[in-house]
A = this chain, B = another copy of it.
Amino acid sequence: MVSRLWQLNILEESKDENYMETLWESRFALRTHRMTSSVIRELLKLTQRPEVISFAGGLPAAEYFPVERFQEACQRVLATQAHYALQYGPTEGYLPLREMIVERMARDNICVTVDNVLITSGSQQALSLIGALLINPGDHVLVEQPTYLGALQAFATYQADYVGVPTDNDGLCVDQLPAALRHGPKFMYILPNFQNPAGVTISAERRRVLIGLAQQQGVPIVEDDPYGQLRFEGDSLPPLVSVDAELAGNNGHCYTGNVIYLSTFSKTLAPGLRTAWIVASPPVIHKLVQLKQGADLHTSTFTQMITYEVAKDGFIDEHVRLLRQVYRQRRDVMLSALDRYMPPEVRWTHPTGGLFLWVHLPSEIKIRELFEEALRRNVAFVPGDAFFTVPDPPPTARLNFSCMPEDAIVEGIRRLSEAIKDLQRAAHPMIAL
């Protein structure tokens, strides 16, 4: 079992050798040469056995999907608007859904119209379209260190390079931004709230410093905010797009600023719908619409209408209140279990929302070895190195707390701490731990 991951790698490599015998590889475009599968998605395949307690995925709790509400929505849409729901639709998205997003943005004091809004097939597509819009091969993107793996994968298609800026418990270390900006990044990719993977949130003060620097130097920001609604405690902080509009004093009827804002219904309703949105300046939306026409014509009319029907009349707010309770409770259980079981050398973040926390391991731990050791005990996580743009970062792990029941969380953390202690003993055989 310990060598299972390496066996997988060997299999992949020998498969790749067979592939070389075909003519296809000679024809693959340059952009694919450095491309690999998502580490997470490959690891998830190893962790899907039912006996595994998995902290690896970023899955919402399926048992809280509002299934009845979905049933009613399907019934209503197909009874009254089937000819529209099953037909081709506009690339920009379903108008009532775009209007709903305009209203939601207004709560954060962002004045936008539907011309600022594009519906996408999940936020992953938003990241891909933004990569296509902005990245020439070799352009640098400024990212938090660690950052969201899916963004790195989306941008890889467009052959991006990276400038990394560290994060601490208050999020992006803005004191290191000026030096990083001297590399001339095309844009900054920032997750301000309950960041994936580290679970940290950028403080209000740092948000203003970040936006000030971005405006001064003309460097756009892509703000990825899938989790902002899932705050467990404390006051909401204004999104970067809102700080930008406020500082620039250009928050008119139709936002024309320096931030592209992304969010999604994947974490507040259900990811299987693949419904997300982009808010940006109209010229940016205009060009993204052209790119989306080429990419998939439009997002499923049917799932957009179902999303709208489920979310409308305040249902989504009510549902988010429920999710906040459930996820806060699971976070608390995970934090207590970490306190109880982990050896003193291990540290972790204390997220105030979202789905993830981030574990800093003692430097003698090799993270891929820990992954295998944990999997041998039927517990899984994502090795943190996948989220860095530099080689050999310090050993870290992303733990998801949203999708496992509480007793499984406790047992999983207990097993994980055993695995860590075993590796520590192996690294320091003479020290009694």
Contact = CB atoms under 8 A, between A and B. Distances in A.
A128 interface: yes
B41 A62 contact: no
Given A24-B220, A32-B133, A133-B32, A270 B87 contact: yes
A34 to B, nearest CB: 11
Nearest to A125: B296
A27 B134 contact: yes
B296 A23 contact: no
B82 A65 contact: yes
User: How many copies of the shown chain assemble into the complex?
Assistant: 2
Contacts of A135: 29
Contacts of A306: 302
Given A78-B70, A218-B23, A302-B272, A294 B88 contact: no
A83 B18 CA distance: 38
A25 interface: yes
Contact of A78 (B71, B154, B301): B71
Given A23-B258, A283-B24, A36 B86 contact: no
A72 to B, nearest CB: 10
Interface residues of A, number: 92
Interface stretch (A235-243, A284-292, A320-328, A425-433): A284-292
Interface in A263-306: 266, 270-274, 281-284, 286-287, 289-291, 293-303, 306
A195 interface: no
Contacts of A294: 35, 124, 128, 150, 153-154, 156-157
Contacts of A154: 294-295
10 contacts: A23-B258, A27-B187, A29-B136, A35-B291, A37-B293, A62-B83, A70-B82, A87-B270, A88-B272, A274-B300
